[in-house]
Structure 1
Amino acid sequence: MSAPTGPRTLAVVKGHGTQNDFVLLDDRDGVLDLGPGLVRALADRRAGVGADGVIRLVPCRALPEGAASTAEDPAAEWFMDYRNADGSVAQMCGNGVRVVARYAEHLGLWDGADELVLGTRAGVRRVRRDGGAYAVDMGEWRFVDPARAESAAVDAEVQVAGLPVARPALSLDLGNPHTVVAVADLDELARIDLTRAPEVTPPPPEGSNVEVVVPLGEEVTPEGETVGRLRMRVHERGVGETRSCGTGACAAALAVRHWGGPGSPDTWLVDVPGGTVRVRTLPGGRVELAGPAVLVAEGLVDLDALEAGRAGS
């Protein structure tokens, strides 16, 4: 008679960056099979742990995309394997980069003193501690259609539920695709319905995150710096509306800065439902994202119960 076996378990940590939340997995041995079904089950907010996405921290050497990161920068030892809540693979996530940096601290893989060089499918990202926040060099960004961005300042239309007509929008690439649309005021922002995916015309080939923004003008910080401010809601492809989106905040700030013309601030505070992040342009067409990263829980998931819960839904 064989001995009874214990439950199959998976160690997880739950974290968030301005309430954009993630299930974090420690795969230092590079052996975890992170398939779409497991991702969907973990991210399920009723039958699983619940999250906007799942992030596996894995050695760069353990997967081909990680090898590309090491080729880009030999200092990239760790790779951020990010999946959307629907199980689809994503290039990267700005809030997720900060949270996985906090996770690397928690695991003792980064001491926070120097930069953390992290591999992602969108290229290497560098994270540094900035007081109580985490600042990420998000790399180079670009307009999807630079000629139209310069000549017309828009290159698409977006139909958002709750708005009577489609609105002009601007498309940007920050390693993943974004479409930014402005509305008149905070009341209009509150009225939109992001339970349904906005319709972007022309349709982006790989879909797009859609940021709906209200510019709030400029203000002077206690340090004397003039900064812009805007408020944003976002629909993320493969997820739905989220409380925050890091690359989306960058895209929104860059679009509003472009619309503002010469003299617009280089630093923007972006208010999202989950808090506030700071976006700052860097030399060489790069952009930095800074904000909080919090770990709130850790524990063991019973994989048999997880599978049973999903089967019964």
Structure 2
Amino acid sequence: MKFSFTKMQGCANDYIYLDCRTSGVPENIVPLARKLSARHFSVGADGIICICAPETPGADGTMRIFNADGSEAQMCGNGIRCVAEWLHVHEPACAAKPVLKIDTRSGRKTLTRMGEELWQVEMGAYSTRAADLPAVNMGEGPLVRCPLTVDGKTWEVTCISVGNPHCVTLVPEVDGLKLEAIGPAFESHPNFPERINTEFVEFVDRTHLKMRVWERGSGETWACGTGTCATVAALVEQGLCPAGEDVHVALRGGELTIRVLPGRQLLMTGAASTVYEAVIEV
């Protein structure tokens, strides 16, 4: 079977994008995601994102995201900017619109084009409640500065839901961390029955952070939009970063700018670009 795809990236968070607006999500999406995402053996990506027909009135499209292991995620902050960029380029009805609305498994998101390959996303409100992650054996919340024992070591974590679950922990420096050794134990910790995304954060100053991330279903990725939002939200909750101001987060693949608005609403700004388009036979 031959099909066309677009390879896109936001802060090096790279996915294979399929136009599924007419055909729907392929029936074999799980094995397809596993096969095509395998780096060095195939196209290589953090997963597959399907651009589908809108599900709600007034929306411009729907995003479905499948991780490299085939599991489906609710939301991807870098991915949704790429979906908006794809629609802007490939869908004439969207080309002239400064604002796009995209349905996701965590609700509709509104995106504003800020410049060439630059999008701002209204990510919605975050929560620190255990039930919203979900998390167990940690109290009901707010899950701010909670102890979490992982492989015999106790970490201080803040758990944030931004439509998908995140566990944020401050570390002295991120560059020397061996995430492949510690990430899997966080991801599969029994306190998180649906697994967890984990952000390791170095505090530079009140408006500048460095972050590395271990994503459930994909391992370490060079960026995570929802994880960056969760990180800034966690540090605002701890009083380390200011609400209402831009916070710049340096990731392995680039920089994202996050602002926490009243009502715990999150605003994310970052780039989205096409790497190449191709046809593959599988």
Aligned to 1:155: 146
1:58 positional shift: 0.9
Instruction: Indicate if the aligned counterparts of 1:148 and 1:155 stay in contact, CA closer than 8 A.
Output: no
Aligned to 1:27: 20
Across the aligned residues of Structure 1 and Structure 2, the Cα RMSD in angstroms comes to: 2.2
- The equivalent position to 2:232 in structure 1, one of 253, 264, 267, is 253
Structure 2, unpaired ranges of 5+:
132-138
1:258 positional shift: 1.7
- The equivalent position to 1:100 in structure 2, one of 61, 79, 83, is 83
1:264 positional shift: 5.5
Could you tell me which amino acid in structure 2 is paired with residue 233 of structure 1?
R
Would you say 1:41 and 2:50 are equivalent positions?
no
Would you say 1:10 and 2:6 are equivalent positions?
no
Could you tell me which amino acid in structure 2 is paired with residue 157 of structure 1?
L
Deviations 1:262-313, CA, capped at 9 Å, x for gaps: 956632101000010000112332101110001010010011xxxxxxxxxx
Instruction: Please say which of residues 267-276 and 193-202 is displaced more in the overlay.
Output: 193-202
Aligned to 1:244: 223
Would you say 1:144 and 2:129 are equivalent positions?
yes
1:76 positional shift: 1.4
Deviations 1:189-244, CA, capped at 9 Å, x for gaps: 222211142434662110100000011113xxxxxxxxx11000000000000000
SS in 1 for 2:158: strand
Aligned to 1:135: 120
- The equivalent position to 2:191 in structure 1, one of 192, 195, 203, is 203
1:120 positional shift: 0.3
Instruction: Indicate if the aligned counterparts of 1:141 and 1:175 stay in contact, CA closer than 8 A.
Output: yes
1:30 positional shift: 2.8
Task: Normalising by structure 2, report the TM-score.
Answer: 0.88
Aligned to 2:201: 213
Matches of 2:267 and 2:147 in 1, distance apart?
25
Could you tell me which amino acid in structure 1 is paired with residue 10 of structure 2?
G
SS in 1 for 2:73: coil
SS in 2 for 1:284: helix
Matches of 2:213 and 2:168 in 1, distance apart?
9
1:46 positional shift: 2.3
Q: Structure 2 vs 1, CA of residues 182 and 31 (structure 1 numbering), >3 Å: closer, same or farther?
A: closer
Deviations 1:4-37, CA, capped at 9 Å, x for gaps: xxxx211011000000000000122134415200
Aligned to 1:82: 65
Instruction: Indicate if the aligned counterparts of 1:250 and 1:287 stay in contact, CA closer than 8 A.
Output: yes
1:42 positional shift: 1.5
SS in 1 for 2:175: helix
Aligned to 1:311: none
Q: Structure 2 vs 1, CA of residues 158 and 295 (structure 1 numbering), >3 Å: closer, same or farther?
A: farther
- The equivalent position to 2:98 in structure 1, one of 104, 114, 123, is 114
